[in-house]
Structure 1
Amino acid sequence: MDDRLSAAIAMLVGGAVAAIGTAEFLVAGFAPPPFDPFVTGLLVVGTGALLLLSGVLAFREALDHLALRAATAVGVLTLILAVLQPRSLRFGGVFWLALVSAGLVAAGAYRTVSIAW
């Protein structure tokens, strides 16, 4: 796979995760407390932003490494979850998945940033 192609995919997935997270969790109506999806929305949007940043850096530096691909895969799973199960926040389950997802993508983003700089 071309180095820039995997970076472009990371940028596309990251942008989509951030956009869907904003639309589904930050802008849309929220469930009443204690199941407030705003924090989950911040995690989902943050995941997308980190993946987008990683993709931009990887594209600029023509990087293609396993951490970026793994972070992109986690981003795809986050995107699927945000699209297919946004109402599961009423039960609080997505928060933990968003937290894990954000942590995994952050690790991949850290690796990408450390290689790029």
Structure 2
Amino acid sequence: MGIQDIIEGKRQWRAHMARVKALPPDYQIVYKEMQRYLFKVGPVDLADGPLLPEIVDFFEEGAAASKGVLELIGDDVAAFCDGLIEGSPTYADIYQESISGKPGTAGK
């Protein structure tokens, strides 16, 4: 990864966060909670994948339709996030696989 890649990544992240800041306040709060949750348990490709921008797209459409954020996702933010990442490999899955080997086989 070169310096240009890092600069471009920062530029894209800032543009993404500008879109989030343009959302209504309730949408911003829920997005930040979703982001926090996904960064803790989310899929391996979260930073490079399309999930976060797709959430912002979904929220922008909901805000344009004058819907409340909880009308879109329901009352349980974590359950909604779990539904989004269902079937995607997570860091927790990778860790679980690394420790679930048979006893005595580590390091061989």
Q: TM-score range by the shorter chain?
A: 0.3 to 0.5
* TM norm structure 2: 0.39
Structure with higher Rg: it is 2
* TM norm structure 1: 0.37
Q: Which structure's relative contact order is higher, taking Cα pairs within 8 Å and 6+ residues apart?
A: 1
Structure number having the greater helix percentage: 1
